[in-house]
Structure 1
Amino acid sequence: MLTLHVIVLALVQGITEFLPVSSSGHLALVPMLTDWPDQGMTMDVAVHVGTLLAVCLYFWRDVVAMLGGLTRFWRVRSDPGARLIWHLVVATIPVVVAGVLLKERIATDLRSLEVIAWATLVFGLLLGIADRVGMTVRRVEHMRLLDALVLGLAQALALVPGTSRSGVTMTAARFLGFERPDAARFSMLMSIPTLTAAGVLLGLDLYRLDDWRITQEALVAGALALVSALVAMAGLMAWLRRAGFMPFVIYRVVLGLALLGIVYGYLDL
Structure 2
Amino acid sequence: MAIACTHGLDTGFVALGYAKVAFLGVVQGITELMPISSTAHMRVVPALLGWQDPGSAFSAAMQVAALAAVISYFWSDVEALLFGSISAIKRRDFRDWNFRFSVWIVLATLPIIFAGLLLSPVLNACNSPLRALSVVGVSCIVMAALLALAEVYSLHKRTLDNVGLKDSMIVGFAQIGALIPGVSRSGSTLTAALFLDLQRAEAARFSFLLGLPAIAAAGLKEMWELHKAHLSMHGWSILFVGLFVASISAFVAIWGLLRILERFSAWPFVFYRFALGIFLLVGVAFGFLPN
TM-score by length of 1: 0.92
What's 2:9 paired with?
A: none
Q: Write out aligned runs for 1:113-152 (5 A).
A: 113-152=133-172
Q: Distance in 2 between matches of 1:114 and 1:207?
A: 31
**Structure 1 range deviating more: 210-219 or 113-122:** 210-219
The one-letter amino acid of 1:264's match is: A
Picking from 57, 75, 78, the partner of 1:42 is 57
Q: In 2, are the aligned partners of 1:9 and 1:47 still within 8 Å (CA)?
A: no
Q: In 1, are the aligned partners of 2:64 and 2:220 still within 8 Å (CA)?
A: no
Kindly indicate whether residue 19 of structure 2 is the aligned counterpart of residue 4 of structure 1. Answer: yes
Kindly indicate whether residue 284 of structure 2 is the aligned counterpart of residue 268 of structure 1. Answer: no
**Structure 1 range deviating more: 233-242 or 209-218:** 209-218
**Structure 1 range deviating more: 65-74 or 139-148:** 65-74
Kindly indicate whether residue 33 of structure 2 is the aligned counterpart of residue 18 of structure 1. Answer: yes
Q: Write out aligned runs for 1:115-264 (5 A).
A: 115-208=135-228, 209=230, 211-264=232-285
Runs of 5+ consecutive residues of structure 1 not aligned to the other structure: none
Q: Distance in 2 between matches of 1:109 and 1:126?
A: 24
- C-alpha displacement of 1:206: 4.7
Cα deviation, 1:46-89, whole Å, max 9, x if unaligned, reads: 32211110100000011101211342357443x23212212211
Q: Distance in 1 between matches of 2:239 and 2:53?
A: 15
What's 2:110 paired with?
A: 93
- C-alpha displacement of 1:164: 1.1
CA root-mean-square deviation: 1.9
Runs of 5+ consecutive residues of structure 2 not aligned to the other structure: 1-15
Q: Distance in 2 between matches of 1:202 and 1:97?
A: 16
- C-alpha displacement of 1:104: 2.4
Q: Distance in 2 between matches of 1:45 and 1:259?
A: 22
Change (3 A) 1:214 1:263: same
The one-letter amino acid of 1:181's match is: A
The one-letter amino acid of 1:99's match is: G
Q: What SS class does the counterpart of residue 241 from structure 1 fall into?
A: helix
Structure 1 runs of 4+ with >6 Å offset: none
Q: Distance in 1 between matches of 2:237 and 2:138?
A: 35
The one-letter amino acid of 1:50's match is: A
Cα deviation, 1:197-243, whole Å, max 9, x if unaligned, reads: 23332443454426221111121111101111111111111221222
**Structure 1 range deviating more: 226-235 or 45-54:** 45-54
What's 1:61 paired with?
A: 76
Cα deviation, 1:23-64, whole Å, max 9, x if unaligned, reads: 123223344444322223332233221111010000001110
**Structure 1 range deviating more: 166-175 or 100-109:** 100-109
Q: What is the count of residue pairs matched by the alignment? A: 267
Q: In 2, are the aligned partners of 1:76 and 1:86 still within 8 Å (CA)?
A: no
**Structure 1 range deviating more: 17-26 or 222-231:** 17-26
Picking from 125, 129, 132, the partner of 1:109 is 129
Q: Distance in 2 between matches of 1:200 and 1:47?
A: 10
Change (3 A) 1:203 1:115: closer
**Structure 1 range deviating more: 122-131 or 209-218:** 209-218
Change (3 A) 1:250 1:76: farther
What's 2:4 paired with?
A: none
The one-letter amino acid of 1:213's match is: H
**Structure 1 range deviating more: 35-44 or 243-252:** 35-44
